[in-house]
Amino acid sequence: MTVVRKLMLLLALAIFLSLPFGAAFAQDVMDPATFGLDASKPYDGTHLKFLICCSTAAQFASAAAKGDEEFTAMTGISVSWGDLPFGSFQEQLYLEATNPNTEFDIVAFVDAWGTNIYDFLHPLNDFVEEAGIDWNDYGPAYQGAATGNSDTIYGLPFRGHPLLLHYRADVLEAVGMEPPATWQDVSAISQAIVDSGMDITPIAMQYGLNVDQNLFNWYSHLWGAGTDIFDENWEPSFNNEAGLAATEQYMSYLRDGYSAEASVAWNEQEANTELVQGRAAMFVGWWWMASRMSTSDIAEVAENAAFAPAPGWEGGDIASYGYLWPVGILKQSDSLDAALEYLKWLTHPITERRIVLDEEFVNNVAVRLSILADPEVNEFHNGLLEIASAVLANARTIPLIPEYTEIIPVLAEAINELATDPMADTQAVLDLAAEDVRFVMQAAGYYD
């Protein structure tokens, strides 16, 4: 272990021990008092339904299994987790949230989707205060996503993803380069890899149309270059001079041949697979994918798996998208109090820590700053959570307004058009997209 690594772990330990619930991790996980649960079991026999997708995700599988074994034993409350395909999750979420007769009580939702169901969620401000939840144990991006940047807590942070650079340490060492701190560094390293003659694609990017995944790294470029989707008056600003420079840099990895031609159609997992299968040297994507690289069946990939914060902008900001799934409760639930009991247990730091240390369902996803700073957790995940913590310190969230779900396809299609047509005029494509975005905003009354 390096001196720097030791110092980082000591600092993390100091932060961890200073937290008021630090000692609670040693308490009995089958004691209701540990989680603030009512030991008299007033909701014994209540069955809750949790609307969520993707049951095979390790975090979800671990939480569901522990809930069945422990939470139900402590409270008498049983919980069934849904298992919708991610592709149909958004539509089903909207249908159930607006259905007065829905059978569901608890819902998880992607940050951008929440703007359309806020009115159907039970506000959690009083609950957070009464349950003694440390709201400051969540980073700014996650707080913003859970509240819609308002004063109302619509959901508790549950599944969060910072963007990380995933890279082959051996390839960068072979070309004498350090991990890129900026997107401009990415270009320089990519050219060095090309010049070296190595039979490997420098970076795998995703420009395809797939649930707005081609926008995630574009946001980082925009923010780093000093602009955003909107200005302070809600006028589109992504097509200004900084936005043009950011977009051209984002498209350059494809146009300069650093990302494969096929990346015009790739989603994030397809791009990541290029790295995992040894065909690419770098990838910038969500941290939950880290285990795919470190457990690759290609030995030279697994043995050289390395991670660093997502790049920023040369001379500008290092800010990337902090993507969050909050978990909340539907107002029309007939079992509100029982659902609140479940949230106490599900989002408690002890539960989160045990899930992220689960050896059966290996998963690095945590949202609390205290867990990200936990030395044991970092030892278990080779320091990955320390890297995530550094990213989240500057992470941002997207515009959390109802209209943004209508705007996302406009932006995603513009990016895909620039990818599929190498002769496309970047400024013209951005200007047209800005016109379409402004039309949506004007129709919603933003300029009255």
Q: Are strands 201-204 and 47-51 parallel, antiparallel or unpaired?
A: unpaired
Regarding pTM above 0.85, the answer is yes
Q: The dihedral of CA 11, 17, 19, 22: what is its sign?
A: positive
Contacts of 6 (CB under 8 A, 6+ apart): none
Paired residues of 183 in beta bridges: none
SS3 100: coil
- Treating both helix axes as pointing N-terminal to C-terminal, what angle do 216-225 and 241-255 enclose, rounded to 10 degrees? 130
Contacts of 265 (CB under 8 A, 6+ apart): 207, 208
Structural domains for the chain: 3-161+323-392 (3.40.190.10), 163-320+403-443 (3.40.190.10)
Considering only CA atoms, which of 68, 97, 92, 8 is closest in space to residue 383?
Answer: 8
Q: 316 near 226, Cβ under 8 Å?
A: yes
Apex CA 103: angle with CA 101 and CA 104, to 5°? 120
Distance CA 59, CA 52 (A): 12
CA dihedral 384→391→342→93, nearest 10 degrees, is -120
Cα of first residue to Cα of last residue in the chain, in angstroms, is 60
Q: What is the pLDDT along the chain (448 residues), one digit of tens a residue?
A: 333 334 444 444 444 444 444 444 556 888 999 999 999 999 999 999 999 999 999 999 999 999 999 999 999 999 999 999 988 999 999 999 999 999 999 999 999 999 999 999 999 999 999 999 999 999 999 999 999 999 999 999 999 999 999 999 999 999 999 999 999 999 999 999 999 999 999 999 999 997 789 999 999 999 999 999 999 999 999 999 999 999 999 999 999 999 999 999 999 999 999 999 999 999 999 999 999 999 999 999 999 999 999 999 999 888 999 999 999 999 999 999 999 999 999 999 999 999 999 999 999 999 999 999 999 999 999 999 999 999 999 999 999 999 999 999 999 999 999 999 999 999 999 999 999 999 999 999 999 8
Distance CA 383, CA 87 (A): 32
Q: The dihedral of CA 307, 368, 161, 404: what is its sign?
A: negative
